[in-house]
Structure 1
Amino acid sequence: MPLAPLFDPLAAGRPMRVAAFLSGSGTNIRRLIEHREKLATGGRTAPFEIIFLFSDRSDGHCAGEKIALENGLPYFSFDIRSFHAKRSLKRSVGTAEGLAARKEYDRVAKRLVDAFEIDVIALGGYMSYITLEKCVNVHPADLSITLPGGSRKYVGDDAVRDAILAGETRLRSSTLWTDEGVDSGPLLMVSEPLDVHLPVPVEDLVHNEERLLQVVDAHQEELKEIGDWKIFPLTIEMIAEGRFSMDENGKVHVDGSPVPEGFRGSTRA
């Protein structure tokens, strides 16, 4: 079965061009920039370049402008809340009207992506549903875990909370090649595990919302460090090297071999 690389460096004849999208603190994007700089040391050529940063917030609550300034990169923002408010629309894409509005909003970013000849969009804490293609997202859950019907068990904004309440003893982060669903695209990489440590039995946390939130937040922050910050840069690097590919059925391969539960090799980033 023929395989199509997510990016072919030999055919391109140049490093992969990446646009970094973010909404908040931008820690994943910082780690991506740092990783690229590390790859470019000692006279080496990094396999990818970060071309510009884009944010869906223009209200001063996104670190994108600061990160771009510190690294000499172009920065663009288009506030999605203002976009919807001016049109008296809700941000939900659950309706035909909402999805059409999101596609209209995304046309601005699409023009930038086309103008800068971007190969891959790196979604590092980008909190808006996106209709553009060729995006890599990072998610704070092991997306190889499924329900009996085959759908993914821990998706959406409350994935860490859901996993803890379900009694999972270990948490992982995942990277994925996005599709039209929510956390439903082809699974690329899964991180090393973070052990769950609860101060009280999970049955007690259910009845103490404040303490539950503290536990969830603490685990999510730690998971960023050992999960997101490792596999997100490494996924971009491996795509840029031509190591990730897909067959005609949308199944992911690494170095020509299928990885149905995500690549789980070295997380040296």
Structure 2
Amino acid sequence: MKSIVILVSGRGSNMEAIVRADIPGARIAAVISNRPDAAGLSFAAARGIHTVALDHKAFADRAAFDAALAEAIDAFEPDLVVLAGFMRVLTDDFVRRYDGRLLNIHPSLLPSFPGLHTHRRALEAGVRLHGATVHFVTPTLDCGPIVLQAAVSVRPGDDEAALAARVLEQEHRIYPQAVRWFVDGRLRLDAAGRVMVDGGEFSAPAAVVPAIDEVMS
């Protein structure tokens, strides 16, 4: 049984997707938030998952918060730490502490559009494909080794909300899949820091692309 700690800052819809996936061999040990009023904490508590609220505003600086966060995480002895809408830039020391077992999902096809406001920037750039990326976290923001990607078409008339909604649907598909690979022992980083997925129908990094009729619609 693999123990998983999930970090959220709000609703945590990707956390919900992972919990609802009921991945064999996985135990969601805790959901932790930097915001005590995060809706994701209520969702987790209602399902009997341990929750921790650790208000980042109560700490003198980022390093102090990250130290307390690491202590809270380590109390659950996780095999994997999952960022699911956790809206904090983590210190290098924190990231290195969980090297090879810290996953994030980003709402773009990395390396395009790292950082914030990805859907707006995609529309402004005029791209025809947008999407989401699951990746291992490294000290450089949104630049870690890519595990899995899903693409959606950018349609005429799309605004940020419409595009974001379609991307979020794909996030809910691929994040549980990546976690499942890790739990199954299939997902790993090789000696060169490259993502490997052993066995099965995928090799990594793998792109899950929508059907051609969606792309061409």
TM-score by structure 2 length? 0.85
**Counterpart mapping for 1:7-46 below 5 A:** 15-36=1-22, 39=23, 46=24
Deviation at 1:153, TM superposition (A): 2.7
Deviation at 1:112, TM superposition (A): 2.2
State the distance in 2 between where 1:140 and 1:73 align: 26
Aligned partner of 1:157 in structure 2 is 116
State the distance in 1 between where 2:76 and 2:45 align: 18
Distance 1:172 1:265, change over 3 A: closer
Q: How many pairs does the alignment contain?
A: 201
Contact between 2:152 and 2:209, CA under 8 Å: does it hold in 1?
no
State the distance in 1 between where 2:43 and 2:168 align: 18
> Does 1:219 pair with 2:163?
yes
Of 89, 110, 114, 2:74 maps to 114
**Counterpart mapping for 1:1-269 below 5 A:** 15-36=1-22, 39=23, 46-58=24-36, 60=37, 62-83=38-59, 87=60, 101-130=61-90, 131-132=94-95, 133=98, 134-143=101-110, 152-191=111-150, 193-199=151-157, 215-225=159-169, 227-255=170-198, 259=204, 262-264=205-207
For residue 109 of structure 1, give the secondary structure of its aligned residue in structure 2: helix
What is the percentage of aligned positions where both structures have the same residue?
24
Structure 1 gap segments, 5+ residues each: 1-14, 40-45, 88-100, 144-151, 200-213
State the distance in 1 between where 2:191 and 2:26 align: 26
State the distance in 2 between where 1:119 and 1:19 align: 8
**Structure ranking higher on relative contact order (CA contacts 8 Å, 6+ apart):** 1
State the distance in 1 between where 2:173 and 2:88 align: 23
Deviations 1:177-218 (A, max 9, x none): 001111011111011x2211232xxxxxxxxxxxxxx81122
State the distance in 2 between where 1:178 and 1:102 align: 17
Deviation at 1:241, TM superposition (A): 0.6
For residue 173 of structure 1, give the secondary structure of its aligned residue in structure 2: strand
- Return the structure number with greater strand share: 2
State the distance in 1 between where 2:6 and 2:104 align: 11
Deviation at 1:233, TM superposition (A): 0.7
State the distance in 1 between where 2:203 and 2:168 align: 26
Structure 2 gap segments, 5+ residues each: 211-217
State the distance in 1 between where 2:5 and 2:125 align: 36
State the distance in 1 between where 2:192 and 2:119 align: 30
